[in-house]
Amino acid sequence: MICGFIVALALSGLLVRLAPSASVDAAKAETAMLFVPLVWTGVFSVAYLFRSGLRAWLWLGAVSVVTLALFEIGK
């Protein structure tokens, strides 16, 4: 599930970028590390709800592009 991993990393990066700057960097990093497997597992589970593999690839690919775009905009 490459697309799920991309979504998880992008959302984790957004979490770190949008967290208040007053918070400790170590806490933000640890939260981001723990956030990735949770999101990745969720996306991995949702992938089985699609009727075909092509639909899953198309939808998850689109979600990956959107989350990467949000990550880039969040700079």
Q: DSSP states of the chain as a string?
A: -HHHHHHHHHHHHHHHHHS-TTS-HHHHHHHHHHHHHHHHHHHHHHGGGSSSHHHHHHHHHHHHHHHHHHHHHT-
| pLDDT tens-digit series, residues 18-36 | 887 776 778 888 888 999 9
32-49 as b/e: b if 16+ CB within 10 A: beebbeebbeebbeebee
Residue 38 has a pLDDT of 93
Residue 31 has a pLDDT of 85
- pTM for the whole thing? 0.83
| pLDDT tens-digit series, residues 42-62 | 998 998 999 999 999 999 999
